[in-house]
Amino acid sequence: MRIQYIFKPISIYGDIDMELRHLRFLTAIADHGTFTRAAEALHMAQPPLSQQVKRLEDDLGVRIFDRSGRGAALTSAGDVLVERARAILSLAKEFETLARALGAGDQGHLRVGMAGGVSLLPLIPAAISAFRREKPGVTVTLEESNTPALCASLRLGQVDMAIVRPPFSMPISSCAP
């Protein structure tokens, strides 16, 4: 009866918080086949890349890459994990894109044409103030003119919206985009 013991090293570091950075490291190595080339692609030196990956592997208790003299190949576990990592990174990218798009809606330039005397109505300045408070990123341009001229400006796209008074002759369908 022969018994063999293998002592597995345990992480000397405390548990780390896995971050998207680590997932980016994994996919880069999987994509480029070696730590060295992945490090180049990540604009960093290779030793820190090794450190981070090793630490992640130790923390999760799973070996993701098989290192050899000619590069790093995915283990069977690594194969599954890198696939998941790509999905997460893809969602994160979408998150950023969506956030910027949502933000873009809150900034820009709004050109408002107002018929003469409209600014005397209590509701209008209040509405503009409220809008400016809610969307501080939007530059608001106010322009006072008469109703027919404003309708023309609106049609030409020189203003984005016009506050006029009846009577005015403009079909709803000709609103500016």
Partner DNA sequence: ATCGGTTACGATATTCGTAAGGATT
Partner DNA sequence: AATCCTTACGAATATCGTAACCGAT
Look at residues 34, 16, 22 and name the one whose alpha carbon lies nearest to residue 81. 22
Contact status: 156 vs its own copies (CB under 8 A): no
CB 65 within 8 A of CB 74: yes
The entry of DNA, its own copies, none near residue 177 (CB within 5 to 8 angstroms by kind) is none
CB 54 within 8 A of CB 25: no
Give the count of residues interacting with DNA (CB under 7 A): 24
Per-residue binding string, DNA, 16-55, x by CB under 7 A, is x----x------------xxx------xxxxxx-xxxxxx
How far apart are alpha carbons 65 and 143 in whole angstroms? 65
The entry of DNA, its own copies, none near residue 62 (CB within 5 to 8 angstroms by kind) is its own copies
How far apart are alpha carbons 156 and 146 in whole angstroms? 15
- Site residues for its own copies, 105-124, by CB under 8 A, read 105-107
Q: Would you say 106 or 119 has its CB closer to DNA?
A: 106
Q: At what angle do helices 20-32 and 46-60 cross, to 10 degrees?
A: 110
Per-residue binding string, its own copies, 12-51, x by CB under 8 A, is -----xxxxx-x----------------------------
How far apart are alpha carbons 177 and 174 in whole angstroms? 9
Contact stretch for its own copies (CB under 8 A) within 27-35, 43-51, 61-69, 164-172? 61-69
How far apart are alpha carbons 23 and 35 in whole angstroms? 14
* Chain centroid offset of residue 67 CA: 34
Q: Would you say 22 or 50 has its CB closer to its own copies?
A: 22
SS3 160: coil
By CB under 8 A, name the binding residues for its own copies: 1-6, 8, 17-21, 23, 60-63, 77, 80-81, 84-85, 87-88, 91-92, 94-96, 98-100, 102-107, 132, 136-145
